[in-house]
């Protein structure tokens, strides 16, 4: 039985624009001083690209088991680093001039061996401007995914190929015209792939390609893809991660901060929480991406359907689809609470300060898990 009817439909707008306005009204000058770019991003991207090329050369004569181990450990980590670099570059946060960001984005896409840089930039802009909007935000799983990916085995397979699903979903849901930039991207990546196969051989290509697949699936570095917007605590749409892997992913874990202020480069996002701590200390956050993946796989109440969904960008209450779904959800919750009260049950409360993997910085806060 599918669970597409269990998406958390909401009739209000996404929370980041509201929080952004409030923070700017209180700390405008301090926050705006964080805007800009950071050349260190480019240095890190070039270094990881070089690492991948050197490793592709090094594995060309290794046995297949060693190639696969290297692909998971090294290439998986490096590939997800470069994927997160695409995210940073799509916001033009490495250079002042946009074209330089685009050039580096295209160049780094080559070592990812699958063309995606130009498409990612176009779709990611809509993820920010239309967060959770049905038909616009292609980060949202489809109804088909919510209906099919419900068992442990199905979720394992889905997460294993998650980066492929992530890449194909936009083409199916919201296809866009192919432009010259897309042609350039495709030509560059396919040219690089051909060069790898010709000069280094099939093992080098498998090292790079398998790294992309596993690095975006059952790999600790890929935990951010699930941690960012899947609702592990009811009612909160976006989650940050504060842990060591931020150092390898351009602080992509600072996701609430990033959605609030996408103009701030990754090296300064932590300063936002120092300037306006009251806006982030009460939000639940993750400490472990590995825990996120395991929780997603093992918890039958967490899956592709545990996402907030809205009918329009503004979220007006007169949108029939969102309103009807939200009302039905409220009725189910009311019925559950009534049943608990009748049975004199205490209800299901989770103190997130004592829950592994998910935390809130407010020591007094408790969140109802329905």
**Beta carbons within 10 angstroms of residue 150's beta carbon:** 17
Are the CB atoms for 37 and 93 separated by under 8 Å? Answer: yes
Average of per-residue pLDDT across 179-203: 98
Check residue 323 and give its pLDDT.
52
Whether the per-residue pLDDT at 292 is higher than 60: the answer is yes
The H helix count followed by the E strand count for the chain is: 16, 7
Percent of the chain scored above 70 by pLDDT? 84
Are the CB atoms for 80 and 222 separated by under 8 Å? Answer: yes
pLDDT, tens digit, for every residue of 120-175? Answer: 999 999 999 999 999 999 999 999 999 999 999 999 999 999 999 999 999 999 99
Check residue 331 and give its pLDDT.
61
pLDDT, tens digit, for every residue of 202-257? Answer: 999 999 999 999 999 999 999 999 999 999 998 899 999 999 999 999 999 999 99
Half-sphere exposure at residue 219, Cβ-oriented, CA atoms within 13 angstroms: 27
Whether the per-residue pLDDT at 350 is higher than 50: the answer is no
Check residue 13 and give its pLDDT.
86
Identify any residues that bridge with 10 across adjacent strands, giving them in sequence order. 310
Check residue 338 and give its pLDDT.
62
Whether the per-residue pLDDT at 12 is higher than 70: the answer is yes
Contacts of 113 (CB under 8 A, 6+ apart): 189, 192, 193, 196, 205, 208, 209, 212
3-state SS assignment for residue 133: strand
Domain segments of the chain: what residues?
15-271
Whether the per-residue pLDDT at 40 is higher than 80: the answer is yes
């Amino acid at each position: 039985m599918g669970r597409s009817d269990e998406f958390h439909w909401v009739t209000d707008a996404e929370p980041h624009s509201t929080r952004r306005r409030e923070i700017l009204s209180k700390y405008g000058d301090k926050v705006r001083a964080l805007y800009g770019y950071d050349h260190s991003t480019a240095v890190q991207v070039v270094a990881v690209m070089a690492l991948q090329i050197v490793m592709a050369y090094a594995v060309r004569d290794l046995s297949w088991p060693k190639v696969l181990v290297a692909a998971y450990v090294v290439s998986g980590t490096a590939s997800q680093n470069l994927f997160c670099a695409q995210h940073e570059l799509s916001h033009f946060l490495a250079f002042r001039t946009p074209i330089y960001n685009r050039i580096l984005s295209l160049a780094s896409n080559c070592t990812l061996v699958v063309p995606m840089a130009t498409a990612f930039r176009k779709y990611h802009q809509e993820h920010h401007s239309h967060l959770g909007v049905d038909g616009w935000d292609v980060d949202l799983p489809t109804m088909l995914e919510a209906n099919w990916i419900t068992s442990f085995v199905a979720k394992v397979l889905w997460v294993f190929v998650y980066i492929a699903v992530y890449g194909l979903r936009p083409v199916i849901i919201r296809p866009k015209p192919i432009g010259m930039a897309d042609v350039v991207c495709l030509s560059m990546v396919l040219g690089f792939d051909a060069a790898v196969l010709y000069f280094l051989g099939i093992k080098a290509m498998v090292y790079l390609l398998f790294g992309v697949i596993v690095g975006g699936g059952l790999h600790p570095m890929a935990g951010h893809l699930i941690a960012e917007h899947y609702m592990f605590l009811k009612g909160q749409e976006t989650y940050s991660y504060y842990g060591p892997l931020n150092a390898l992913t351009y602080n992509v874990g600072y996701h609430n901060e990033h959605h609030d202020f996408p103009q701030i480069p990754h090296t300064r996002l932590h300063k936002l929480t120092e300037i306006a701590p009251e806006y982030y200390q009460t939000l639940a956050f993750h400490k472990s991406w590995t825990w996120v993946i395991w929780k997603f796989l093992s918890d039958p109440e967490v899956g592709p359907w545990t996402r907030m969904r809205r009918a329009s960008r503004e979220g007006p209450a007169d949108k029939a689809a969102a309103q009807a779904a939200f009302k039905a959800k409220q009725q189910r919750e009311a019925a559950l609470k009534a049943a608990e009260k009748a049975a004199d049950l205490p209800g299901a409360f989770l103190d997130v300060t004592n829950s592994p993997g998910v935390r809130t910085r407010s020591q007094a806060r408790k969140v109802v898990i329905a």
